[in-house]
């Protein structure tokens, strides 16, 4: 279970540690099962050592409406190689057996969870060592579907705030959010535009005035320079599509498993330089 005796979750503890170290966290996204279960498992296992502070693991879905071409393609590769929600939970369980500190947040769409059965999913996810959930197509208006049961089950439910989240909605968005708030730095789909730094700073000020939760910033972050710039204002920086693109390129080039894993982890090592305190 993610919750410790002091009532803090693995995510809370990780953000406490980052704050004590005076630096932002690096959050990396990969799709579970991309390009296949084995390579994906090896990348996942290597992420903490390469510098990922928090891991977002995508649950592949056939119809990822909020994702750009990179993550769409990664979902397709994963599904084609036979990935299922059950296998994704097994991956987390395997990871957790050797790493009890790095938080894992599952990210995806509601339908596979709904079909798995929300209650059964929450209990299996918690048992596997999942710390939080980001479910893109569950806005606050649908909180009773999964968010409230997840909080009850001791899992963090992380909400996205976007450039279109105005002051009227911000209260609703923050109300049942826990662990951290994910600020979507562009109005758009994942990985398609670079974030506008001035806009990010204003948005973070607005968010920080309304919540004590850490704020992670993502969608469109691709370079170590962007990681460094956003790390100066946000509590964590999320990189997804750029990492997924590396996996795609290696897979397309017919690279071996070892080479694909190394390329992905090397990229994460570079990104991690952007959040080192002395950088």
Partner 1 sequence: MSTKPPREVNSYRTGPDERGRFGIYGGRFVAETLMPLILDLEAAYEEAGKDPAFQAELDDLLAHYAGRPSPLYFAERLSGHLGGAKIYFKRDELNHTGSHKINNCLGQILLARRMNKTRIIAETGAGQHGVAVATVAARFGLPCVVFMGATDIERQKPNVFRMKLLGADVRAVTSGSGTLKDAMNEALRDWVANVADTFYIIGTAAGPHPYPAMVRDFQSVIGNEVREQIMAAEGRLPDCLVACVGGGSNAIGLFHPFLDDDEVEMFGIEAGGLGIDTPDHAASLSGGSPGVLHGNRTYLLQDDDGQILEGHSISAGLDYPGIGPEHAWLRDTGRVTYVPASDAQALDAFQLCTRLEGIIPALEPAHALAFVTQHAPALGADKILVMNMCGRGDKDVFAVAEHLGAEM
Kindly list the catalytic residues: 56, 67
Please give the Cα distance from 252 to 202 (Å, whole number): 40
* 238 vs 275, beta carbon nearer partner 1: 238
116 or 180: CB nearest partner 1 = 116
Q: In the sheet that 156-157 helps form, which strands lie side by side, from edge to edge?
A: 156-157, 132-135, 104-108, 54-58, 25-31, 236-239, 215-218, 181-184, 160-161
Residue where the block lists tokens 């009850």: 152
Contacts of 173 (CB under 8 A, 6+ apart): 140, 159, 160, 161, 165, 181
Is 23 or 77 the residue whose CB approaches partner 1 more closely?
77
Minimum distance from residue 40 beta carbon to partner 1 (Å):
16
Shortest Å distance, C-beta 112 to partner 1: 4
Min dist CB 116 to partner 1, Å, is: 7
Q: Tell me the two tokens of residue 115.
A: 């079909």
Q: Determine the distance from the C-alpha atom of residue 234 to the mean position of all C-alpha atoms in its chain, rounded to a whole number.
A: 15
Least gap, CB of 179 to partner 1 (angstroms): 16
Q: Which is nearer to partner 1, 211 or 269 (CB)?
A: 211
Burial class of residue 42, CB neighbours in 10 A (0-12, 13-18, 19+): middle
Residue ranges in contact with partner 1 by CB under 8 A: 61-69, 72, 79, 84-86, 109-117, 136-139, 141-142, 159-166, 169, 173, 184, 187-189, 192-193
């Amino acid at each position: 279970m993610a919750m410790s005796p002091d009532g803090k979750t693995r995510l809370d503890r990780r953000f406490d540690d980052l704050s004590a170290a005076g630096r932002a966290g690096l959050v990396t996204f990969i799709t579970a099962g991309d390009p296949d279960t084995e390579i994906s498992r090896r990348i996942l296992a290597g992420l903490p050592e390469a510098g990922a502070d928090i891991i977002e693991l995508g649950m592949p879905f056939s119809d990822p409406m909020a994702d750009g071409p990179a993550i769409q393609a990664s979902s397709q590769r994963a599904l084609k190689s036979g990935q299922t929600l059950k296998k994704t939970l097994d991956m987390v369980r395997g990871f957790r057996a050797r790493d009890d500190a790095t938080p894992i947040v599952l990210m995806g769409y509601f339908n596979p969870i709904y079909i798995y059965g929300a209650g059964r999913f929450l209990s299996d996810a918690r048992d596997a060592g999942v710390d939080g959930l980001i479910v893109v197509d569950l806005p606050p208006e649908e909180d009773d579907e999964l968010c409230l049961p997840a909080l009850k089950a001791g899992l963090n439910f992380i909400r996205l705030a976007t450039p279109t989240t105005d002051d009227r909605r911000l209260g609703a968005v923050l109300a049942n959010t826990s662990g951290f708030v994910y600020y979507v730095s562009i109005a758009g789909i994942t990985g398609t535009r670079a974030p506008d730094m001035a806009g990010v700073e204003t948005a973070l000020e607005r968010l920080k005035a309304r919540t004590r939760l850490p704020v992670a910033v993502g969608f469109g972050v691709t370079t170590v320079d962007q990681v460094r710039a956003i790390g100066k204002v946000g509590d964590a920086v999320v990189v997804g599509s750029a990492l997924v693109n590396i996996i795609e390129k290696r897979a397309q080039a017919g690279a071996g498993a070892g080479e694909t894993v190394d390329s992905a982890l090397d990229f994460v090592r570079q990104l991690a330089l952007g959040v080192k305190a002395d950088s």
